[in-house]
Chain A
Amino acid sequence: MSVTAHPTPAGTEEYQPVFVGATLEALGEILTRYPTRQAALLPALWLVQGARGWISDRNMAEVAEVLGLTPAYVKGVVTFYTMYHQHPVGRHFVQVCTTSPCNVCGAEDVVRALLEATGANELGATSPDGNWTVIEVECLGACGFATPILVNDDFIESVTPDKVPDLVRKYK
């Protein structure tokens, strides 16, 4: 399938469509689960993010074309959900829960330790080596195992500041 909805001026880098080969096949299987093409939007966005780490405007245009939606509609959905990245993030994307139950167990100290050990230094910023982005998130649903963090798709429980340096080394 080729993307023709949003041609770009001659001379710009050619767009590499995401929905080709195995990814297109995966989408085809997903479409059989729902009575509408629109319903495949969240899974399609996950496929894009899985393939290239984030979702650009041109990716959104491609998803729109593949599913018969408009780019503006797709963007409206992307911006609603906090897990879709609209900009590139570090190779390791860290989400730290700081909502009340974790907060009273020291989650903010874990955030500080992670910012320091990764060199990201500021929430949402990416470390100079491009390896780490750390953000605070609301409730990860593992309150009894404070503080839970997600490093990419790895869900790690009971993180304390003293465990952070080893943990960061493991992902180097």
Chain B
Amino acid sequence: MGYPHKPHPRETVVLSRHFGEADARTYKGWVKRGGYEVLAQALAMEPGRVTDIVKESGLRGRGGAGFPTGLKWSFMPKEKNKPHFLCVNADESEPGTFKDREIMRWTPHALLEGSAIAAHAIQAEVVYVYIRGEFTEPWDFMARALAEANDARVFGAIKIYLHRGAGAYICGEETALMNSIEGKRGNPRIKPPFPAAAGVFGMPTTINNVETLAAVPQILKHGAAWYKGLSLSSPKSTGTKLFSVCGHVQKPGNYEVTMGFPLKDLLYDLCGGMRPGRTLKACIPGGSSVPILNREETESCLLDYEGVVDKGSMLGSGGVIVFDDSTDMVYQIMRLARFYAHESCAQCTQCREGTAWTTKILERILSGRGTTADLDLLLDLSENMTGKTICVLSDSCAAPVVSGIKKFKSEFEDYIAGRRKPVMVA
């Protein structure tokens, strides 16, 4: 288990600075690197002041939605007459995304420190870190780090507990995650009420992503202005972001760059480009739930919240999936649809039926039995799956299908017209 690369000169290492240093996982090692200094300072500050600093920094949620973190914290009741909770979303399961895993594997104390600071800011006495069941290794590192930090009594009155998931992508949706902690099936809840009003156990709750919280100690240490200055483009996208790059690049892995970094440079420079003799065909820039970009869009895309939207997709979780010219787009889109069909909680009709039928129709096309009407059927189905359900899993299934048909239509038509040999059997 080795961290695969030395930082590239064009990376800006803030969160990943100590990746690869085994000693940073220990309490002593973390303190030696300046860890837990700002936590002590933060615990002595007015909670509202901590929230203000994070607001000023421009930090936005790194789990996918990009909601301003300080603003989210400010929704918590100021007058405290009920217990408050912080839930840490470490249920990282979005295809293409593997950054939170790396944070927990190498710098578990960064997450614990950020969690305790956030808990203080929202006046929560209990923190649950919800780690997906498959992350056995991050769990061990987190458990060890938590035990050491507890022994050193660094968290004051704040209690932090790890909670293990058991195999359900949907539990990364914030209200499903809360249900899962409560010992229920991971069905998302209808909003409102929003978590800040009635979250886990019906109490005011904030849910933040691992990467978001790991950035908080750095913001308090170096100041909001410093963090805000880490941007190459839009003032609405600040700081650094870990991009997980996977698929057909020479050097896949996690790369930390400032917001606004060109996607083209990330792929061709930092990741070493495509395999020899291959060219880029398509790229999903923010985890599998966002629309697919074609080559032109990819090569002109800036990696910040606004820049990716400009190209018709979303920054999402920063999971960059790269497909070269050897890729069968129809097969991979079917594979993504199958993912969502497998992970649907089956609560809403549009999602339960839509994800399953989308998969079935794509499999029909791949087995040489598709018709031209199937493409319209898929688009019609996708429209009925978008914006109509309790959570966005259904929308996420539609995104690659709609963008895929739009941008790679001829590949679908080749299967339908019999110009391409079926790759699935009926």
Contact = CB atoms under 8 A, between A and B. Distances in A.
Interface of A: 33-36, 38-43, 45-46, 67, 69, 76-77, 80-84, 95, 98-101, 103-105, 137-146, 150, 153-155, 157
A77 B184 contact: yes
A101 B183 contact: no
Given A99-B95, A100-B95, A36 B183 contact: yes
Closest 7 A/B residue pairs (Cβ): A41-B183, A81-B166, A83-B167, A82-B167, A143-B246, A144-B252, A38-B183
B86 to A, nearest CB: 14
Contacts of B164: 42-43, 46
Contact of A143 (B134, B180, B321, B342): B321
Nearest to B132: A141
A145 B96 CA distance: 11
A144 B244 contact: yes
A83 B244 contact: no
Contacts of A142: 98, 101
A112 B343 CA distance: 24
B183 A141 contact: no
B185 A155 contact: no
Interface size of B as a range: 35 or more
B335 A150 contact: no
B168 A82 contact: yes
B263 to A, nearest CB: 16
Interface in B1-34: 1, 4
Contacts of A139: 93-95, 169, 339
Most chain A beta-carbon contacts within 10 A, residue among B1, B92, B247: B247
B253 interface: yes
Contact of A38 (B97, B137, B167, B182): B182
Given A46-B164, A82-B167, A155-B136, A141 B92 contact: yes
B136 A101 contact: no
Contacts of A144: 4, 98, 244-246, 252-254
Contact of B161 (A33, A83, A84): A33
B118 interface: no
Given A46-B164, A101-B95, A143 B319 contact: yes
A100 B166 contact: no
